[in-house]
Amino acid sequence: MFKNQPKGLFALALANTGERFGYYTMLAVFALFLRANFGLEPEAAGQIYAGFLACVYFLPIVGGIIADKIGYGRCVTMGILIMFVGYVCLAIPLGGDGLAMGTMIFALLLISFGTGLFKGNLQVMVGNLFNEPQYADRRDAAFSLFYMAINIGAMFAPTAAVKIMIWAQDYMGVSVNDSYHFAFMVACASLVLSIIIYYATRPWFKHVENSVKQAAASGKAVEELTPEQTKKRIIALCLVYAVVIFFWMAFHQNGLTLTFFANEFVDPCITGVQTMAFDIMNLVLLVVIVYGLFGLFQSEKTQGKVISGSAIVAAAAILLYKYTQISPEGISISAPIFQQFNPFYVVALTPVSMAIFGALARKGKEPSAPRKIAYGMVVAAAAYLLMAICSIGLATPNEQELARLADGGDLVNANVLIATYLILTFGELLLSPMGISFVTKVAPPKYQGMMMGGWFVATAIGNYLVSVGSDLWGDIPLWGVWSVFIGVCGIAAIFMFSMMKKLEDATK
């Protein structure tokens, strides 16, 4: 899985892991912070949340245009520094008045612009590593690994956010509202780690920091496309962008309506073996077992098999011991912790996904990247179908709010959300890393930064449309809320399949 990949891939992936850890630590509690600290209603909190996500994913097109002129590496460095200033501003506890709101908005703009300079251009650099002939056939697998690294950071983020807030309340004596700022401080520290990794490993990828314009100016040969080829590729990319809008609209309900659902409709009292799923270290041990199994069967040397087998036995033994120590009283969970399951599934299932597609590739039956994206939309629709079925008979959110004040209301088992996140993750693995890989492969060389920015603009539009979920969160039955996302994902999948020939021709 990790063999025969350029060292620069792992360096850039680790730098991105640090940045994403901070971002998702902040994002895990951000919607709840808006409601608690500023007393906002769900609709208002949803608008700010969605607007921030839209800016984060819209501004990479600006960062891409800038990078096509001044270089990708320079923009990545500038982006980290600007993001750091933004997180510092967000970490300052100013209360809930107008000054606090203004400072928060300023911080969000800095984080958004810094991300615009950093995120897309780092991924262009990853793609450029595979322009060399010896690595060309490993592009899709590389982006699966890169995406996995992002989610390693995201997997620990919800736990980090919750734990640092509890620590701040218990040992620093701060209020609940002020404890949110400690979670934002984690993001500051993660960016310091990210820039250290970037510059410590820079010799491994320095050759892909320059833009095509800079490379041409230095006399390096650059691939030239005819106007017809350029047009064909841009049209194909725009078709993909149109589809992924609706995926992200549905997927990023994880930080909004799915978090509201976790907060208002999921039983927070967890008992028995289920408690083990909410301990991040248990999830890490499961990841160790998964990777150990792959190492056991894929290692060519006895030493590798022994190390893998030992890791499996050790992880399983620790899990068994922790099972015997489960408290009969159970535990109480908070809503943000559910956001650890999606990145956990990404990390755990990436080698499974790579193994399946690797086996299909050897038989000449691997689906194209556009076809994988279409399948991903179908799977996302299935995730919300599960939510709709499990929500039949539940109160509306407004009815539930009144019921909770009286008798607690009707609550569902946490497994509903755990299973939903599993299905959504299957869809994500089919769509997101494959989509990024498709962009780096198809984008005309002179517009790489801008075309990668286009991917994020589509993501931004989808993220802004996330607020549709909070707009519906009130008097509409829950199954009706989830049915909206079933519909948009299903329609997008049908459109994608209808355009398949045109999309697949663009990669030839």
- Check whether residue 281 and residue 338 sit in a common domain: no
- pLDDT higher than 90, residue 484: yes
10 Å CB burial of residue 69 (0-12, 13-18, 19+) is: exposed
- Check whether residue 200 and residue 184 sit in a common domain: yes
CATH number, domain containing residue 354: 1.20.1250.20
- Check whether residue 257 and residue 281 sit in a common domain: no
pLDDT digits (tens, 9 = 90+) for 158-209: 788 888 999 999 888 888 888 888 989 988 999 999 999 999 999 999 888 8
pLDDT digits (tens, 9 = 90+) for 54-74: 888 889 989 988 988 888 999
Q: What is the dihedral of CA 290, 291, 297, 300, to 10 degrees?
A: -170
- Quote the pTM value: 0.80
The domain of 322 spans 270-332
CB atoms within 10 A of CB 364: 6
Residue 1 belongs to a domain: no
Q: Cβ(230)–Cβ(237) under 8 Å?
A: no
Taking each helix axis as running N to C, give the angle between helix 415-442 and helix 227-251, from 0 to 180 degrees, rounded to the nearest 10: 170
Cα 508 to Cα 496: distance, rounded to the nearest angstrom: 18
- Check whether residue 294 and residue 337 sit in a common domain: no
- Check whether residue 160 and residue 297 sit in a common domain: no
Cα angle at 248 between 435 and 277, to 5 degrees? 100
- Check whether residue 486 and residue 389 sit in a common domain: yes
- Check whether residue 187 and residue 302 sit in a common domain: no
Among 314, 332, 350, the domain boundary falls at 332
- Check whether residue 14 and residue 132 sit in a common domain: yes
Q: Where does residue 408 fall: left (phi above 0), alpha (psi -120 to 50 degrees), or beta otherwise?
A: left
DSSP 403-459: HHHHT----B-THHHHHHHHHHHHHHHHHHHHHHHHHHHHS-GGGHHHHHHHHHHHH
CB atoms within 10 A of CB 475: 10
- pLDDT higher than 90, residue 156: no
Nearest to 212 by CA among 202, 204, 203, 222: 222
Cα 387 to Cα 265: distance, rounded to the nearest angstrom: 12
Cα 52 to Cα 463: distance, rounded to the nearest angstrom: 9
